[in-house]
Amino acid sequence: MDETLLAVIREAGQEHVLKFRDELSPGERSRFEDQLAAVNWRELPQLAAEYVLRRPDTAIPDDLAPADFFPLEPRDAAMRELYARAEARGEELLRAGKVCCLTVAGGQGTRLGFDGPKGTYPIGPATGRTLFSYFAGSVARAQEKYGRTLLWFIMTSPINREATEEYFQKEGFFGLDPEQVFFFTQGTMPAFGHDGKLLLSAKDSLSLSPDGHGGTLRALRVSGALDRMAAAGCEYLSYFQVDNPLVPVVYPRFIGLHALEGAEMSAIMLSKTGPKEKLGNFCVSGGRVRIIEYSDLPEALAEKRNPDGTLAFIAGSPAIHVISRAFVEKLTAGGTLKLPWHRADKKIAALDESGNVTAPAEPNGVKLETFIFDAMPLAEKVVILEGDRQELFAPTKNAVGVDSAESCRRMLTARNARRLRAAGVEIPLRPDGTPDAVIEISPRLVLDDADAGELVRKTGLRAVLPGEVVAL
Ligand code: UTP
């Protein structure tokens, strides 16, 4: 084994990871050494001290205040005019090929408990079309609408890259040109035991997990994705998560406002449903926009009300962003970008002293991740635009319950019902006002309300029957 590597591992106090090295075949040993060589051993002691051996507190600055945002409904004529200009600008940028899509799909989706990349999860309420199929359909429809190829960048992890690519191959890229879809892989971080020692997942492997969606920025650079965007003339990245099939893959008003205001990174906000809703909170401190996680926002601030009774910290984040390519170039130039780490206590199957894998019943270790929203304080200018929750946010985090596949399917049906009703179709309702039907509309056909109107006109659909399962 390389002496320098051995020395840094020792210096980091992590020599135990080599315990089973003598039992490995030459091939296993060489692969393991490659993996070990990729770890930044020098930063580990400090990370362990700061995030593992003690619980890091998120410092809440004294000047923390709610961040300003552009409301969903324009407040006055000037704002109405600005929104109209923003929409026109967004559409113009799309027609000029200045926008690309970026989906982060490197997460492990542990809460959903689905075997395979989360993007391959069947979410369509009538047909079971997958999350990736939703986005692919929307990308295809958007590029048809704006008459310009829309590049689509998909971030995977080393764990799901192969399965993700195979899935796209199997589906024939959903009719997209394979050249317009660019997969790239994020980095990993080794998991720690609560004693600050790294965990092994096998005798020849550390327990590695994706380094969080904050890893997107560095991965965009090292994978060559940024260069590809630059070569294609893309200036704006439309960023969304793989678990939200309601998201507009491109949102002209949002993109246009970001561009008109000269922002570096922008965000959609939703009005929180209550003080404790599990969304990050848009705040401002020292003139910089930042997100404070729901678990970190002090109770007094979470509960604070405006004179009209609304929550002071009303703005929650659904993780939908527009990011300027130039901003990512700037942040990642020189390779010194450091986003803060966030600690998550997890149950991590790991090798015990005698080399057997045990699956713990209780959290036994710590995973560290960085978050994309921590780039916002680094931006000179951030635009926050209110979005309509019913139209754009239904995260699939769990199998059932809140933010689940179930609730997501209901919201897909509800949005489709709304769009059809707006186009004159009669929709049966249950006593609680929700649609008494399951309605799925192909994203390949309908990107927005205008498309839905057109579809209704073409199909001549007049009414959905009670209990009917409709796939358009
Ligand atoms: P979540 O934080 O919801 O995590 O990711 P997850 O991995 O999907 O699910 P759990 O927590 O294990 O149940 C939000 C988005 O960020 C992406 C996910 O794929 C999802 O689109 N993500 C998360 C990454 O791309 N990389 C990561 O390292 C973490």
CA of 160 from ligand 1 middle (Å) equals: 12
Confidence of residue 33 (pLDDT cuts 50, 70, 90): very high
Which amino acid belongs to residue 7? A
CA of 397 from ligand 1 middle (Å) equals: 9
Q: Return mean pLDDT, the chain.
A: 96
For residue 383, pLDDT over 90 is answered with: yes
For residue 425, pLDDT over 90 is answered with: yes
The pLDDT > 70 percentage for the chain reads: 100
For residue 401, pLDDT over 90 is answered with: yes
Both tokens of residue 394? 């239904």
CA of 2 from ligand 1 middle (Å) equals: 35
Rounded to whole angstroms, how far apart are CA atoms 339 and 104?
Answer: 17
Rounded to whole angstroms, how far apart are CA atoms 77 and 34?
Answer: 61
Confidence of residue 351 (pLDDT cuts 50, 70, 90): very high
Q: Name 469's bridge partners.
A: 438
Token pair 């029957």 is found at 465
pLDDT digits (tens, 9 = 90+) for 73-115: 999 999 999 999 999 999 999 999 999 999 999 999 989 999 9
What pLDDT shows up at residue 336? 85
Both tokens of residue 279? 């969304």
Mean pLDDT along residues 329-339: 93
A 10 A CB-CB count for 84 gives 13
What pLDDT shows up at residue 335? 84
Tell which residue, 145, 147, 151, has the closest CA to residue 176: 151
Q: Name 102's bridge partners.
A: 153, 239
Mean pLDDT along residues 337-343: 94
What pLDDT shows up at residue 213? 98
For residue 348, pLDDT over 90 is answered with: yes
CA of 106 from ligand 1 middle (Å) equals: 6
Mean pLDDT along residues 165-175: 98
Q: 411: Cβ–Cβ under 8 A, 6 or more apart, which residues?
A: 246, 390, 394
Q: CB-side exposure of 307: number of CA atoms within 13 Å?
A: 0
Which amino acid belongs to residue 214? G
Pocket, ligand 1, Cβ cutoff 6 A = 104-111, 118, 155, 186, 210-213, 215, 241-243, 369, 397
What pLDDT shows up at residue 58? 79
Rounded to whole angstroms, how far apart are CA atoms 236 and 360?
Answer: 44
For residue 56, pLDDT over 90 is answered with: no
Nearest CA owner, ligand 1 atom 7: 107
Mean pLDDT along residues 35-51: 95
The helix or strand, by DSSP H or E, that contains position 165, with its residue range, turns out to be: helix 161-170
**Pocket of ligand 1, candidates 213, 278, 374: which has the most ligand atoms within 8 Å of its Cβ, to mutate?**
213
pLDDT digits (tens, 9 = 90+) for 188-229: 999 999 999 999 999 999 999 999 999 999 999 999 999 999
Torsion angle defined by CA atoms of residues 284, 289, 291 and 297, in that order, rounded to the nearest 10 degrees: -10
Confidence of residue 417 (pLDDT cuts 50, 70, 90): very high
Q: Name 9's bridge partners.
A: none
What pLDDT shows up at residue 2? 87
Q: Name 283's bridge partners.
A: 66, 290
| Whole-structure pTM value | 0.96
pLDDT digits (tens, 9 = 90+) for 128-158: 999 999 999 999 999 999 999 999 999 999 9
What pLDDT shows up at residue 251? 98
